Amino acid sequence: MKKLVRDKIPEIIVSEWRECEYFVASEEEYFKSLLDKILEESIEVSESKTDIEFKEEIADLYEVLDAFIKYKNFSKDEILEIQKAKREKKWGFEKKIILTKY
């Protein structure tokens, strides 16, 4: 099993007297692992049963997106400006519109 985990996870595992093995990913592997992690966290959001779980999984998804933004050396402000421009052009998702044919 290879899985991108938060930085302190190996330390936490060892502090609980358990063993773990890990390595530091190459740039290419880190990029792919971030993409995999976005999918994993998205699935966990969709499978959340309670508001507390939902909030925790959304927070995890934010954390992965944050890591991705840092990895790509993007500006958070620039990302938010793009989001704002798209919202102004196409709006958001507040009207709950489901497209059935196009």
| pLDDT of 95 higher than 90 | no
Per-residue confidence band for 83, with pLDDT thresholds at 50, 70 and 90: very high
Taking the alpha carbons of 63, 65, 68, 74 in that order, is the dihedral positive or negative? negative
- Give the global pTM: 0.81
68 and 34 Cβ atoms separated by less than 8 Å: yes
Q: What is the mean pLDDT of residues 26-43?
A: 95
Continuous H helices in 1-102:
9-15, 27-46, 51-71, 76-90
Q: What is the mean pLDDT of residues 38-64?
A: 96
Could you report the per-residue pLDDT of 37-48, keeping only the tens digit for each?
A: 999 999 999 999
For the chain, the C-alpha Rg in angstroms (whole number) is 18
